[in-house]
Structure 1
């Protein structure tokens, strides 16, 4: 990755196993890549989830069991990654992390979710044919937002044990802009869900027809949210989604 930053290295970055030049380059890449930033949020707890798992192959002790802490597992993955440098970077790391979390049996692969109206939900077990934000959005039934002139979009909500996961689709915006998705309670309290930058070419506009997909989370449950707003750093509201 020293010659170019690869999006697939987000898994290696989350586990802390990139070498220093690669780690520095990827940290700079995160500042300009909403997709990798969002995926990093999802993977940030992986190292902690690896505690106490069985080894990946021949590392069992005489009793046939191993109790590994996160640091030991990360060390094992680092050695494996070094031996597999010719393969596509990051793919091995993400695959290994997925395999051991399935062995653990304590991490859900899908979540049955609901919301106040029966819409805006994501079914269990959706595939990963797209990026995580787009996949979550495509799998659900979105709440449709009301936008500023030319702006359209929608939001899919997913109830989590820690609060609410939100996946946003946004069209009709041109940059450069800095934006935030904000959750608003019935009492008017606001919490930032996620933020991103819109490049000059924009999203969902002539010459750049693809929409923007971002996702993030808020500690409130759906019942405690009145609406979501997409706002610019200058205070303009681009989209309002009532939930």
Structure 2
């Protein structure tokens, strides 16, 4: 960069450079701290000049004042708006220098002797074991690893209603867990799952609504899958029954699993 570029600070602050020289100086200013610092000291002076009455200064033209000085002063007054742009350029130059300094520090911190940042290792997948007594029906719950079905499998089809079911009963500390799959179940209707104990008592463990197209039907081939639990121990259960409940609350059996 030529020495003339360092000599244009005052001319740039007063706004007397032509557009080509202005652009060239601004490129120089972005990388030259010396000119940036000098320009910053001139900003208050230009601000004071902006408060001078232009008409009063024009009147001085008729005096013995140097005409060249008068012209430069009036130009500075008219171009006071350039002060905002000057401050933006100073901020840009400062950011360039600060970024360069930080880059050097970061490069030193990331040298070969720096300790490596520990990286998290991927979590190993949890193994999925097949159920000990898995369903044979490919549409049954748990097929394909979606959910493990526990317990002994029991199948039944009611000869009167045609409703089919597969149930899995598993012994638990709290009682018995029951997984149910239902097909050929027409709708609409309200159903419930009832556990019958060997002491002739019963317990409703689940209720649900069947839509008009039913489950496992020609209109809806998908079967219904649900789960429930009871406090009754597995050894105390005599049968598990799916019932249909009409609007008057009267229940009728749809399908029963009794080979327990």
TM-score (norm 2): 0.41
Q: Please identify the structure whose Cα radius of gyration is greater.
A: 2
Give the number of the structure with larger relative contact order, counting CA–CA contacts within 8 Å between residues 6 or more apart.
Answer: 1
Q: Please give the TM-score of this superposition, normalised by the length of structure 1.
A: 0.44
Structure that is richer in helix per residue: 2
